[in-house]
């Protein structure tokens, strides 16, 4: 197990370096750089100063080597957009995204898996309706879902129409501040959770349907096991394997932040930060966000593997063997 964990950590490190280095080099090589943010009429001296500050006056390889050396000391450089160290920015944004991701994942799991068990084991109008809604949730682009939810929130005022805290949060106690954040979570969490819940439902339904036709379940039926126990205690556990396989990816994707959802709902997370950085060609912020996203993806993948190992002994043997 220790060897397995060590291998995975090495993989995580490789992923972080590869993803962030690629992001840095692609941002550098793409047309336009951060100096265009100074506007079309910035003086040549101002442009030169900015290029020097962000090492854009060096060759791409030299800039990358310099950045990598600094990043190994957890110095990811400065952001042009925010005019402050990237490390501070990605730390705060990652925490916000993590809070959002945990809630979204919990919602997706609690909605998607029970519905998948239901549609995978039943026939009829109710199951068909759930399948239809799932397909709809999968088909609608996140931009539309987010805007629709913001629209609903703004019309009904059931929950805040964006942001992470209220304007009065400044004077709140810690407990009241947490309650305020909780009030702002449903909108972006739902926008993130809906397509993932639909994915879980589809996978769980298919897997459950296959599991119910396994010989050992036919034997259980012959032994007189109650239908409820048959599904919950026997079929479900077997059917979890495909869910666990995508669970890690879902965690990674959620923790990396959703560009669209965070942007539209004004959630100050990693996805929005990355989007703004990309638009401004804020090279070190792009690389820092990519590094954090890569780290989260690797951790998500690790969690998925561990869950799979817990659910299926064959997978456990394959991983540790």
Partner 1 sequence: MAGTPGRAAPLRSARPSCKRHTDVFKSERFLLRGQDVGRGGRKLSVRSSRFASPRFAGALLTGVLLGALVLFLRTRPDEGTSPTAAVPRGGQIVGSIRAEPRSFNRFVARDQTSDLVSLLTQARLVRIDRETFELEPWLAESWESSADGRTHTLHLRQGVTWSDGTPLTSADVLFSVQAVFDPKVPSVLASTLTVGGQPIHAAAADPQTVTITFAAPSGPGVRLLDGLPILPRHRLESRLADGTFAQAWGTETPPAEIVGLGPFVLREYQPGQRLVFDRNPRYWRQAPDGRALPYLDRLVLEIVPDQNAELLRLQSGATDLTQSELRPEDYVPMRRAEEEGTIRLIELGVGTDADAFWFCLKPEVKRRDPRFAFLQRSEFRQAISHAVDREAFAETVFLGAAVPIWGPVTPGNAPWFWPDLKRYPPSDDRARELLRGIGLEDRDGNGVVEDARGTEARFTVITLRGVGSLERGTAVLRDELARVGIALEIAPLEQGAAIQRMLACDYDAIYMRPLWTDLDPAGNMDFWLSSGDAHFWNIGQRSPAAEWERRIDTIMLEQSASLDPARRQQLFRDVQQILAENLPVLYFAAPRMYYAHSTRVVGVRPSVLRPPALWNADSLSVTQQR
CB of 31 to partner 1, least distance (A): 4
DSSP codes, 69-107: HHHTTT---B-TTTSSBHHHHHHHHHHHHHHHHHHHHHH
- Kindly tell me which of 45 and 222 has the beta carbon lying closer to partner 1: 45
Tell me which residue has tokens 């996805």.
271
Tell me which residue has tokens 């923790």.
255
- Kindly tell me which of 30 and 136 has the beta carbon lying closer to partner 1: 30
CB of 161 to partner 1, least distance (A): 5
- Kindly tell me which of 74 and 224 has the beta carbon lying closer to partner 1: 74
CB of 28 to partner 1, least distance (A): 13
Rounded CA-CA distance 309/275 in Å is 35
CB of 24 to partner 1, least distance (A): 16
Q: Quick one: how far is CA 303 from the chain centroid?
A: 13
Per the CB < 8 A criterion, the answer to whether 306 and 16 are in contact is no
- Kindly tell me which of 118 and 275 has the beta carbon lying closer to partner 1: 275
85 forms beta bridges with 78
Which residue, 216, 221, 246, 222, is CA-closest to 311? Answer: 246
Q: Quick one: how far is CA 266 from the chain centroid?
A: 16
Residues that bind partner 1 (CB under 8 A): 30-34, 36-43, 45-46, 49, 80-84, 88-89, 92-93, 96, 147, 150-151, 153-155, 157, 160-165, 167, 170, 263-266, 268-269, 272-273, 276, 279-281
Instruction: Count the neighbouring beta carbons within 10 Å of the beta carbon of residue 109.
Output: 17
- Kindly tell me which of 32 and 132 has the beta carbon lying closer to partner 1: 32
CB of 23 to partner 1, least distance (A): 16
- Kindly tell me which of 11 and 158 has the beta carbon lying closer to partner 1: 158
CB of 209 to partner 1, least distance (A): 40
Rg (CA), the chain: 23
- Kindly tell me which of 80 and 200 has the beta carbon lying closer to partner 1: 80
- Kindly tell me which of 119 and 256 has the beta carbon lying closer to partner 1: 256
Per the CB < 8 A criterion, the answer to whether 308 and 60 are in contact is no
CB of 196 to partner 1, least distance (A): 22
CB of 42 to partner 1, least distance (A): 8
CB of 49 to partner 1, least distance (A): 6
Which residue, 277, 262, 240, is CA-closest to 101? Answer: 262
Rounded CA-CA distance 267/269 in Å is 6
Instruction: Count the neighbouring beta carbons within 10 Å of the beta carbon of residue 156.
Output: 9
Within 8 A by CB and 6+ apart from 34, the residues are 50, 54, 56, 80, 280, 281, 282, 283
* CA angle (21 as vertex; 24, 34 as ends), nearest 5: 10
- Kindly tell me which of 111 and 190 has the beta carbon lying closer to partner 1: 190
């Amino acid at each position: 197990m220790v060897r397995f964990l060590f291998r995975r950590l090495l993989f995580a490190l490789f992923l972080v370096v590869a993803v962030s280095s690629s992001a840095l080099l692609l941002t550098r090589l793409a047309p336009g750089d951060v100096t265009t943010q100074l506007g079309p009429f910035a003086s040549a001296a101002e442009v030169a100063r900015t290029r020097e500050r962000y090492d854009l006056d060096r060759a791409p390889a030299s800039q990358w080597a310099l950045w990598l050396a600094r990043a190994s000391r957890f110095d990811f450089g400065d952001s042009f957009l925010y005019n402050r160290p990237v490390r501070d920015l990605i730390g705060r944004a990652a925490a916000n995204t993590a809070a959002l991701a945990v809630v979204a994942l919990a919602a997706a799991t609690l909605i998607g898996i029970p519905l998948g068990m239901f549609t995978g084991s039943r026939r009829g109008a109710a199951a068909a309706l759930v399948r239809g809604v799932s397909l709809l949730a999968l088909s609608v682009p996140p931009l539309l879902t987010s805007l629709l939810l913001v629209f609903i929130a703004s019309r009904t005022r059931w929950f805040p129409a964006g942001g992470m805290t209220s304007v009065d949060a400044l004077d709140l106690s810690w407990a009241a501040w947490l309650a305020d954040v909780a009030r702002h979570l449903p909108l972006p969490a739902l926008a993130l959770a809906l397509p993932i819940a639909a994915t879980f439902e589809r996978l769980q339904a298919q897997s459950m349907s296959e599991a119910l036709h396994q010989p050992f379940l036919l034997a259980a039926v012959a032994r007189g096991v109650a239908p409820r126990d048959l599904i919950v205690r026997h079929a479900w556990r077997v059917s979890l394997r495909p869910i666990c396989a995508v669970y890690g990816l879902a965690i990674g994707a959620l923790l990396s932040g959703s560009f669209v959802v965070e942007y539209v709902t004004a959630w100050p997370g990693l996805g929005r930060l990355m989007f703004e950085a990309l638009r401004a060609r804020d090279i070190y912020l792009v690389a820092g966000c990519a590094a954090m996203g890569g780290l989260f993806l690797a951790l998500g993948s690790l969690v998925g593997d561990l869950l799979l190992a817990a659910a299926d002994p064959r997978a456990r043997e394959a991983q540790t063997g």
